[in-house]
């Protein structure tokens, strides 16, 4: 009863509780503590021991432990771990895979060299990766995957001539699907979007493996978007998503597409359960911010903590994402430009050029944008959006 007489006190009390809560939570969260209850769940493991895929993994792990010189088992286990890392975006599995290869006691077989090369590539150690693929091919010239991966690295490095040579090797081996994915991207990055789309589309029917189909469909969607055909792009993205395979690259690309289409709500919904992955949390935070949702601040904070943690361990693989975080979530254009420039020195794909241009426009620093403009010029890449950005940076030169 007395409460109804003093309505003004209620918000006050809530505020006081809120402040107390914050302090309590800092004390509770920041300091090491002793849990009081034995039944308190501290951690939920990503794979439960009685889960089917986990038991297959454990079985393989046991085999490798008991027969350390079994190259086939080691390669299988490393591949399984790496696939899990790619599907979930959880880098711990990449570390497990790397340790499996490192623990192999004899000279590495082509399959193990291939695994190590993929893992080097994952860590952006491109030169070491190229060396592993070369060694693998020296032992087994028919190892198509090594050519495909080498092609992918050359593409990232914007070395289209070398990438094209890898595609040609795949064609000689008559690996049409791998060749299509390789050649299609060489054409796309080289400024022939129509030809690129045709090449990728041609490879699709011959490719039965769901993983390969997902890859082709994702890249076809990207090419369509660059061609200013959003309806077609969406169709391909949806077909790729319909395969029902978890793939963080696909989700990131689809989210970027939706963000460009100003369909923020869909991004927020789709990525709600993907906070664990840094690249996807970035897209989620961007969408939340553009929607004006209260969670935006928390997501940005979370992301900041994670970039800080990555910096602490010397991890530089997510600099492109960190640049976007700095530019759009922290409004720190200078830092964004610094990160984008560092990233562009290592990776030169369209999205890398885009964040560099966007950051340079924000800082008004033409010189910083130059590497991206040079790349756009020399590659002949056609995306209208990127050309518009490049023009904007061009105007910076004329005061």
Binding stretches for other proteins (CB under 8 A): 17, 21-22, 24-25, 28-29, 31-35, 37-51, 88-92, 94-96, 98-99, 101-103, 123, 275-278, 281, 298, 302, 305-306, 309-310, 312-315
Alpha-carbon Rg for the chain, nearest whole angstrom, is 24
Minimum CB distance to other proteins, residue 285 (Å): 11
Comparison of 132 and 382: residue with beta carbon closer to other proteins: 132
Comparison of 38 and 174: residue with beta carbon closer to other proteins: 38
Comparison of 206 and 297: residue with beta carbon closer to other proteins: 297
Minimum CB distance to other proteins, residue 240 (Å): 21
Minimum CB distance to other proteins, residue 175 (Å): 30
CA distances from residue 5 to 11, 209, 311, 392 in whole angstroms, order as listed? 14, 70, 55, 62
Minimum CB distance to other proteins, residue 281 (Å): 8
Structure tokens at 55: 């038991």
Minimum CB distance to other proteins, residue 341 (Å): 24
Minimum CB distance to other proteins, residue 113 (Å): 15
Minimum CB distance to other proteins, residue 116 (Å): 10
Comparison of 47 and 362: residue with beta carbon closer to other proteins: 47
Comparison of 245 and 276: residue with beta carbon closer to other proteins: 276
User: In a 10 Å sphere around its CB, with 0-12 CB exposed, 13-18 middle and 19+ buried, how is residue 135 labelled?
Assistant: middle
Cα–Cα–Cα angle for 226, 227, 228, rounded to 5 degrees: 90
Comparison of 85 and 178: residue with beta carbon closer to other proteins: 85
- Give the helix/strand (H/E) hosting 137: helix 126-139
Comparison of 298 and 387: residue with beta carbon closer to other proteins: 298
CA distances from residue 275 to 90, 207, 248, 328, 372 in whole angstroms, order as listed? 11, 32, 11, 18, 30
Structure tokens at 20: 């107390």
Cβ-based neighbours of 373, under 8 Å, separated by 6 or more: 357, 390, 393, 394
Comparison of 91 and 230: residue with beta carbon closer to other proteins: 91
- Return d(Cα 49, Cα 283) in angstroms, integer: 32
- In the chain the first and final C-alpha atoms are separated, in Å, by 70
Contact 289/296 with Cβ under 8 angstroms? yes
Comparison of 22 and 367: residue with beta carbon closer to other proteins: 22
- Return d(Cα 379, Cα 159) in angstroms, integer: 10
Minimum CB distance to other proteins, residue 70 (Å): 17
DSSP 168-193: HHHHHTT-HHHHHHHHHHHHHHTT-H
Minimum CB distance to other proteins, residue 353 (Å): 27
Comparison of 140 and 295: residue with beta carbon closer to other proteins: 295
Contact 46/88 with Cβ under 8 angstroms? yes
Residues in the chain: 399
Residue in the block written with tokens 């969607």: 221
Minimum CB distance to other proteins, residue 86 (Å): 12
- Return d(Cα 174, Cα 179) in angstroms, integer: 8
- Return d(Cα 271, Cα 265) in angstroms, integer: 10
């Amino acid at each position: 009863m007395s409460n109804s007489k003093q309505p003004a006190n209620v918000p006050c009390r809530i505020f006081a509780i809120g402040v107390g809560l914050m302090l309590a939570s800092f004390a509770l969260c920041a300091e090491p503590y002793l849990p009081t209850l034995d039944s308190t769940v501290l951690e939920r493991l990503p794979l439960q021991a009685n889960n089917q895929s986990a038991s297959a993994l454990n079985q393989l792990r046991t085999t490798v432990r008991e027969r350390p010189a079994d190259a086939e088992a080691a390669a299988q286990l490393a591949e399984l771990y790496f696939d899990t890392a790619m599907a979930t975006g959880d880098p711990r599995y990449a570390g497990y895979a790397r340790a499996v290869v490192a623990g192999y006691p004899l000279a590495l077989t082509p399959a193990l060299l291939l695994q190590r090369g993929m893992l080097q590539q994952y860590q952006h150690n491109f030169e070491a990766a190229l060396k592993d693929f070369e060694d693998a091919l020296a032992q087994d010239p028919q190892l198509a995957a090594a050519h495909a991966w080498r092609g992918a690295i050359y593409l990232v490095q914007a070395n289209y001539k070398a990438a094209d040579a890898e595609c040609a090797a795949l064609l000689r081996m008559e690996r049409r699907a791998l060749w299509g994915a390789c050649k299609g991207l060489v054409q796309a990055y080289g400024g022939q979007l129509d030809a690129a789309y045709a090449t990728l589309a041609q490879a699709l029917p011959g490719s039965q493996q769901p993983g390969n189909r997902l890859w082709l469909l994702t890249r076809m969607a990207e090419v369509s978007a660059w061609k200013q055909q959003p309806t077609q792009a969406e169709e391909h993205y949806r077909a790729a998503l319909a395969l029902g395979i978890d793939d963080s690259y696909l989700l990131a690309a689809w989210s970027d597409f939706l963000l460009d289409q100003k369909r923020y709500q869909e991004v927020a919904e789709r990525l709600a359960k993907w906070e664990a992955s840094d690249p996807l949390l970035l897209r989620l935070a961007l969408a939340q911010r553009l929607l004006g949702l209260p969670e935006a601040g928390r997501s940005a904070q979370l992301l900041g903590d994670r970039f800080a943690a990555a910096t602490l361990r010397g991890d530089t693989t997510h600099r492109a994402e960190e640049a976007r975080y700095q530019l759009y979530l922290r409004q720190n254009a200078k830092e964004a430009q610094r990160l984008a420039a560092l990233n562009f020195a290592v990776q030169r794909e369209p999205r890398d050029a885009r964040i560099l241009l966007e950051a340079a426009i924000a800082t008004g620093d033409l010189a910083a944008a130059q590497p991206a403009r040079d790349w756009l010029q020399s590659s002949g890449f056609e995306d209208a959006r990127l050309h518009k950005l490049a023009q904007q940076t061009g105007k910076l030169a004329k005061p």
